[in-house]
Amino acid sequence: MITSDITAAELKQRLANNETPIILDVREPWEHEEQNIAGAKLIPLGSLPERLHELDEYKDQEILVHCRSGKRSATAQAIMQQNGFSNVRNVLGGMLAYNEA
């Protein structure tokens, strides 16, 4: 199981290189509407346990999880790993760090 996190700067660089990683946004819908990373799938942390099946096809692929500051995404990462997702990476610092990167 890979548990290495990813920095916001690394994510920005990968997007700049036209990579299309699987990105999961676990913030609330209003936060996602204010600003989001293009292509990110929105599943708020509170509904993640009952919506994990929506991500089943990505169980063995790298999934980058982000929130505002990195705390909710760390929780989401743990939930996903406990449910068999093998390569979930937390975007350290979340959108706050992403905006500064």
Active site residues: 67
Q: Confirm if 91 and 65 have CB atoms less than 8 A apart.
A: yes
Amino acid, res. 35: Q
Which residues, other chains included, contact 21 with Cβ-Cβ below 8 Å and sequence gap of 6+? 11, 14, 15, 62, 63, 64
Angle, CA 86 vertex, CA 8 and CA 23 arms, to 5°: 35
What is the end-to-end Cα distance of the chain in Å, rounded? 28
